[in-house]
DNA sequence: GTTCCTGCAAAAGCTTTGCAGAAGA
DNA sequence: TCTTCTGCAAAGCTTTTGCAGGAAC
């Protein structure tokens, strides 16, 4: 499912989604930075490069790209929506301490259950939460024996 | 993990969480209605019974109960937080047409991956989206061949 | 008598909408 | 030229916060 930038452009053209400069920049940002950014992050970073960019346009672009099936919306926490390029099915692990979201591979088919035999499944999401190795190490170094987040 | 109402009260007392009338009502509501309600739903329903209840208190109660480990916060969609009693690990399927959230059993351990060996996993969530059998039937009855949600 | 809870109102965030002007095809 | 995109400001939602009064223990 990982696509080249050119493939993505073709997909957008097929769906009559205009390849505006700003839209391509958002797409390029997601392709370059696999950090599951928030709208805020994307806006802040791109704004440095494109001072005229507005947050509305970032929203518009992400929605357009999500509708085209190129971008996946990630909602682990209720107060922050994150975005990622749509790639092979994978799980997301969010560190409760540093906030970074890590990908991990999963065999998504193993999760299926015959209880859902008569359901039409369109999207499968697997979200874990906890503490990442880096934060575990930092906590250990600081002699905290219990992590209060 | 399914607990009796009395067990839950004991758990709350142990954690120094006061058993106020309103808090118990919210807990009772969740125990009776396994519909993964939003704050709005809980407030609307309980408000009929307890006219003095405020939405702030519903929020407070849910947070207190979540901190005590009795309530699970479900965020499938970014614009609506839902709440459920904490029970055995299970997956959630949200119908994109009617909005109902269904539970399904999963073997959560099967999802684990050695990529996360050095991570401390505290919470595992499995969210599916799609169309439920009832909606599939309704769509069929209406001669829609494609579902545009 | 302390502590914690409650509820109102206001504030804070994030996201969407309306609209005029600009850019794309 | 016609459609679509952009950006500003304002509106809309949900959730949080501050604070005074009240209930619980």
pLDDT tens digit sequence for A59-105: 999 999 998 889 999 998 878 899 999 878 889 999 988 889 999 98
Which range has the worst mean pLDDT, A89-98, A104-113, A125-134?
A104-113
For the domain made up of A1-87, give the CATH fold: Arc Repressor Mutant, subunit A (1.10.10)
Residues in A closer than 8 angstroms to B126, CB to CB, are: 111, 124-127
Q: Which residue has the higher pLDDT, A6 or B41?
A: B41
- The confidence score (pLDDT) of residue A19 equals 82
Instruction: Note the strand D nucleotides within 7 A of protein beta carbons.
Output: 4-9, 14-18, 23-25
Q: How far is B8 from chain A (nearest CA, A)?
A: 23
- The confidence score (pLDDT) of residue A149 equals 39
pLDDT at A126 over 80: yes
Q: Which residue has the higher pLDDT, A57 or A20?
A: A57
- The confidence score (pLDDT) of residue A146 equals 47
- The confidence score (pLDDT) of residue A15 equals 79
CB < 7 A to strand C: residues 52-71, chain B: 52-54, 56-57, 60-61, 64
- Exposed (0-12), middle (13-18) or buried (19+): which is B61, by Cβ within 10 Å? buried
Q: Which positions 56-75 of A are in contact with B (Cβ < 8 Å)?
A: 73, 75
Smallest Cβ–Cβ distance between A123 and the set B91, B118, B129 belongs to B129
- Quote the DSSP letter at residue A2: -
Q: Do A122 and B131 touch (CB under 8 A)?
A: yes
pLDDT digits (tens, 9 = 90+) for A7-23: 888 888 877 778 889 99
- The confidence score (pLDDT) of residue A40 equals 95
A20 touches strand C (CB under 7 A): yes
Q: For residue A9, which of A21, A22, A24, A31 has the smallest C-alpha distance?
A: A24
Q: Which helix (H) or strand (E) holds B12?
A: helix B5-14
- B13 CA – C1 C1', rounded, Å: 21
Nucleotide nearest to A81 (CA to C1'): C14
Where do the domains of chain B lie?
1-87, 89-149
- Exposed (0-12), middle (13-18) or buried (19+): which is B70, by Cβ within 10 Å? buried
Tell me, yes or no, if A119 comes closer than 8 A to chain B by beta carbon: yes
Cβ pairs bridging A and B (under 8 Å): 109
- A80 CA – C13 C1', rounded, Å: 10
- The confidence score (pLDDT) of residue A143 equals 54
- A40 CA – D11 C1', rounded, Å: 20
Tell me, yes or no, if B38 comes closer than 8 A to chain A by beta carbon: no
For B40-62, give the secondary structure using H, E and C.
Answer: HHHHHHHHHHCCCCCHHHHHHHH
pLDDT at A56 over 90: yes
CATH 3.30.1490.190, applies to A89-149: yes
Find the residue in B nearest to A122 (Cα).
B130
* pLDDT string in tens for chain B (149-residue length): 567 778 888 888 878 788 889 999 999 999 999 999 999 999 999 999 999 999 999 999 999 999 888 999 999 887 889 999 987 888 999 998 888 999 998 887 777 677 899 999 988 899 999 999 999 998 877 755 444 43
pTM of the model: 0.85
- B115 CA – D15 C1', rounded, Å: 35
Give the start-end residues of each E strand in B13-119. Answer: 71-77, 80-85, 90-95, 101-105
């Amino acid at each position: 499912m990982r696509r080249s930038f050119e493939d993505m452009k073709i997909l957008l053209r097929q769906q009559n989604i205009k390849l505006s400069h700003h839209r391509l920049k958002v797409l390029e940002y997601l392709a370059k930075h696999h950090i599951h950014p928030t709208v805020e992050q994307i806006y802040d970073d791109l704004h440095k490069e494109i001072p005229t960019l507005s947050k509305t346009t970032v929203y518009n672009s992400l929605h357009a790209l999500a509708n085209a099936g190129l971008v996946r919306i990630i909602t682990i926490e209720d107060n922050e929506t994150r975005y990622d390029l749509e790639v092979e099915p994978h799980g997301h692990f969010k560190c409760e301490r540093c906030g970074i979201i890590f990908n991990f591979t999963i065999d998504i088919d193993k999760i299926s259950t015959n209880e859902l035999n008569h359901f039409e499944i369109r999207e499968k999401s697997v979200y874990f939460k906890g503490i990442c190795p880096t934060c575990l190490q930092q906590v250990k170094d600081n002699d905290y024996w219990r992590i209060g987040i």
